[in-house]
Structure 1
Amino acid sequence: MYAKDIIARAGLLNCNPVYTPVDTSPKLRSTDGNPVDNPTKFHSLVGALQYLTFTRTDISHVVDPVCLHMHDLRESHLHALQRIVQYLEGTLDYGLHLYTSSTSRLLAYTDADWAGCPDTRRSTSEYCVYLVVQTATNSFSLQRWG
């Protein structure tokens, strides 16, 4: 199971699970905490989590903001990553199960956080489109300036 492999790679097998993927504290800032000396492990875990979001759309809204800080990794970003992995430990049975279907009903959901980035005050938005119970597309975007 891919999620279990990610948990092992993070060194958190049999950790205490959490049942929400994000802490309720304020949003991540680019300058919170001390810089991390060797971010290679973090980059690998974030890439694995991004791939996992294809079947675990419940974590896409927390993985994408962590990715914004890959260029200057701080300890607070590592704590956010650890929380996501702990969430995976507690929700290993979650995920999308893709099946064939003859129904052509389309559902779409969207959310936006206007000026939500605490560093740049840029807006973020996310949408998810479902064809019956299958994810057709999922997107997260950060407002671009200029």
Structure 2
Amino acid sequence: MSSCKPSITPVDTTPKLGASVSSPVSNSSLYRSLDGALQYLTFSRPDITYAVQQVCLFMHDPREVHMEALKRIIRYNQGTLNFNLHLSPSSVTSLFAYTDADWGGCPDTRRSTFGYYVFLGDNLISGLAKRQTTLFRSSVEAEYPAVANVVSETFWLRNLLLELLCTVPTATFILL
């Protein structure tokens, strides 16, 4: 797919991926191999984390619609080869965290998805996108564990920075 037409987004924003009635992929080992390579790529490309997490949910029984979603991520990567994690010196020494939860986002299990990103100054230092294990009745119930997870992560990062003799003089800002 080195000469494919690039996609401007890694995931189709209108429909949710779910267990589909479309036909199974002809080569499921190729699907798993591409999916695994994309998982590895998320270490340096946090912008594709959510999309890769969504196609990983169907590794046990991939369908053609899931393969199309996987190919869309590859097309997005083709158009954004210059997007990488850049760490640069920053005069700002505050921790900022951004978190969000998608209540009932999975069309099959109705489970929520949450994610967060943590920045030290201008540099992204941690991120996560994950399907929640509990089924919630409201968006408020889904947001609470997401906030609890990012607070736990920022406490761990503050302690790690303290051990590295890099103190964070201000409180951590968590934005929903």
Q: Could you say whether these structures have the same fold, taking a TM-score greater than 0.5 normalized by the shorter chain as the test?
A: yes
Q: Structure 1 residue 59 and structure 2 residue 48: aligned?
A: yes
TM score, norm. by length of structure 1: 0.84
Q: Structure 1 residue 16 and structure 2 residue 8: aligned?
A: no
CA distance in 2: counterparts of 1:50 and 1:109, whole angstroms = 22
SS at structure 2 position matched to 1:127: strand
SS at structure 1 position matched to 2:82: coil
- Give matches, 1:23-38, under 5 Å: 23-38=12-27
Which residue in 2 is equivalent to 1:93?
Answer: 82
State the superposition RMSD in angstroms.
1.7
Q: Structure 1 residue 130 and structure 2 residue 91: aligned?
A: no
Partner residue of 1:50 out of 16, 21, 39? 39
When structure 1 is superposed on structure 2, of 51-60 and 30-39 the one drifting more is 30-39
- Asked if structure 1 preserves the Cα contact closer than 8 Å seen for 2:98 and 2:116, the reply is yes
- Asked if structure 2 preserves the Cα contact closer than 8 Å seen for 1:32 and 1:75, the reply is no
Q: CA deviation at 1:79?
A: 0.1
SS at structure 1 position matched to 2:124: strand
TM score, norm. by length of structure 2: 0.71
SS at structure 1 position matched to 2:118: strand
Unmatched tracts of structure 1, length 5 or more? 1-11
SS at structure 2 position matched to 1:70: coil
Higher relative contact order (CA 8 A, sep 6+): 1
The count of aligned residue pairs is: 135
- Asked if structure 1 preserves the Cα contact closer than 8 Å seen for 2:115 and 2:130, the reply is yes
Which residue in 2 is equivalent to 1:84?
Answer: 73
Q: CA deviation at 1:99?
A: 3.8
CA distance in 2: counterparts of 1:100 and 1:137, whole angstroms = 17
Q: CA deviation at 1:41?
A: 1.2
- Asked if structure 2 preserves the Cα contact closer than 8 Å seen for 1:32 and 1:76, the reply is no
- Asked if structure 1 preserves the Cα contact closer than 8 Å seen for 2:99 and 2:117, the reply is yes
When structure 1 is superposed on structure 2, of 114-123 and 135-144 the one drifting more is 135-144
When structure 1 is superposed on structure 2, of 96-105 and 42-51 the one drifting more is 96-105
SS at structure 2 position matched to 1:72: coil
- Give matches, 1:103-114, under 5 Å: 103-114=92-103
- Asked if structure 1 preserves the Cα contact closer than 8 Å seen for 2:91 and 2:121, the reply is no
Q: Deviations over 1:35-66 (max 9, x none)?
A: 12321111111111111111111111111111
Q: CA deviation at 1:101?
A: 5.2
